């Protein structure tokens, strides 16, 4: 067999690799977030079934003062995958009461970055410089700007850590730790385990907003890679994988079909019922977080838990 031609476009390369491997087809979840995907994610955060964002916001509103009081001064704030940054207001307002604060949102979605700058641009004593970058690339740039006496507080909210497989999540936190210095901090949001029925409702809402968010990945491939996916012939599916303690999002082919992706120089066949696995959302037990943190070189100094929607915000200090 001829090897597949080399492609310059990273998106095209990753789409072809994920859809042409034998076995389970996959697509990287970060491609869910173009301008349409980021707008749909904002809508998901408002859905009654999806309590995660509101739980995170309640904790930050109630505890931002005590969390920031535990940090050394002066501190700069880097937020990985900020989205609209709405919840971050509580942290920035608490910090701005004691110091001028530089805030660096790091995002791959340009439209999310624009939303974030608009959302938080009015806070006194806070200056915002956004980085349209991958998480760790952006953090490295922030670390390079650090002045000698400054500490860094990294925010990784909304349980985005749950998108990584468990071991990959520890590797990610270790890589993040290696860009920091002892005494720097990471505020890590983690969604806690809950009943399967509640999780299915959260990731497969009645209105179909999460379905649209998931299907937009194929629509994006059509738009950007000149492909011909028939969106009506794929169904959104949320599956609870109890053993792995995660929700998986899939796009299930409704029939035997073929899609052509011109910019990836690929033709992909689907059989009826076959799925593309697009995202994982791992869930955590509050007690396991200090152990995960320790494996990555952090000490968990504070944990705030929302009881309405079990969710933990964890303050980790780099050792
Ligand atoms: C689950 S959303 C969370 C948004 C926000 N932090 C919240 O808690 O609501 C994940 C965000 O991370 C961004 N993102 C995903 N993968 C990324 C990557 N590899 N590097 C930088 N940003 C990424 C997405 O664009 C999206 O805005």
Does any ligand 1 atom lie closer than 6 A to the CB of residue 158? Answer: yes
DSSP helix/strand/coil, 168: helix
Q: How large is the average pLDDT for residues 60-84?
A: 97
> Which residue owns the Cα nearest ligand 1 atom 6?
82
CA distances from 278 to 171, 186, 249, 294 (A): 21, 27, 6, 30
pLDDT at 7 over 80: no
- The Å distance, Cα 260 to ligand 1 centre, comes to 29
Return the sign of the alpha-carbon dihedral for residues 28, 34, 38, 39. Answer: negative
pLDDT-derived band at 5 (thresholds 50, 70, 90) equals confident
Which of 14, 52, 78, 108 has most ligand 1 atoms within 8 Å of its beta carbon, as the pocket-test mutant?
Answer: 108
CA distances from 133 to 6, 38, 108, 111, 300 (A): 24, 15, 5, 13, 27
pLDDT tens digits along 253-310: 999 999 999 999 999 999 999 999 999 999 999 999 999 999 999 999 999 999 999 9
Residue with tokens 């009506």: 232
CB 253 within 8 A of CB 287: no
Q: Give the Cα separation of 217 and 281 in Å (integer).
A: 17
Burial of 194 (0-12, 13-18, 19+ CB in 10 A): middle
pLDDT at 1 over 60: no
Does any ligand 1 atom lie closer than 6 A to the CB of residue 310? Answer: no
Q: What is the dihedral of CA 64, 86, 186, 138, to 10 degrees?
A: -150
Q: Which two tokens stand for residue 160?
A: 């985005």
pLDDT tens digits along 127-169: 999 999 999 999 999 999 999 999 999 999 999 999 999 999 9
- The Å distance, Cα 257 to ligand 1 centre, comes to 32
CB 106 within 8 A of CB 30: no
User: Has this prediction a pTM greater than 0.95?
Assistant: yes
């Amino acid at each position: 067999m001829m090897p597949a031609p080399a492609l310059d476009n990273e998106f095209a390369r990753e789409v072809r690799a994920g859809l042409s491997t034998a076995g389970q087809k996959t697509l990287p979840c970060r491609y869910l977030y173009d301008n349409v995907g980021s707008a749909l994610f904002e809508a998901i955060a408002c859905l009654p079934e999806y309590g995660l964002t509101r739980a995170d916001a309640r904790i930050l509103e109630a505890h931002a003062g005590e969390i920031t009081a535990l940090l050394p001064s002066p501190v700069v704030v880097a937020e990985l995958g900020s989205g609209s940054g709405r919840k971050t207001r509580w942290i920035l307002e608490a910090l701005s009461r004691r110091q001028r604060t530089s805030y660096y949102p790091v995002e791959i979605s340009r439209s999310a970055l624009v939303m974030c700058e608009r959302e938080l641009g009015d806070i006194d004593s806070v200056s915002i410089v956004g980085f349209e970058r991958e998480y760790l690339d952006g953090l490295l740039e922030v670390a390079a700007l650090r002045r000698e006496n400054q500490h860094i507080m990294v925010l990784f909210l909304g349980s985005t850590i749950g998108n990584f497989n468990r071991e990959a999540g520890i590797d990610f936190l270790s890589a993040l730790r290696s860009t920091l210095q002892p005494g720097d901090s990471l505020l890590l949001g983690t969604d806690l385990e809950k009943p399967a029925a509640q999780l299915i409702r959260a990731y497969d809402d009645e209105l179909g907003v999460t379905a649209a968010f998931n299907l937009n990945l194929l629509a994006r491939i059509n738009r950007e890679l000149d492909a011909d996916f028939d969106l009506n012939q794929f169904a959104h599916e949320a599956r609870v994988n109890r053993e792995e303690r995660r929700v998986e999002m899939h796009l299930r082919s409704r029939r035997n079909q073929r899609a052509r992706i011109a910019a990836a120089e690929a033709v992909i066949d689907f059989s009826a019922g076959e799925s593309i696995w697009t995202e994982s959302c791992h869930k955590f037990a509050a007690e396991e977080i200090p152990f995960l943190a320790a494996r990555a070189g952090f000490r968990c100094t504070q944990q705030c838990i929302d009881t309405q929607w079990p969710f933990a915000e964890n303050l980790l200090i780099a050792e």
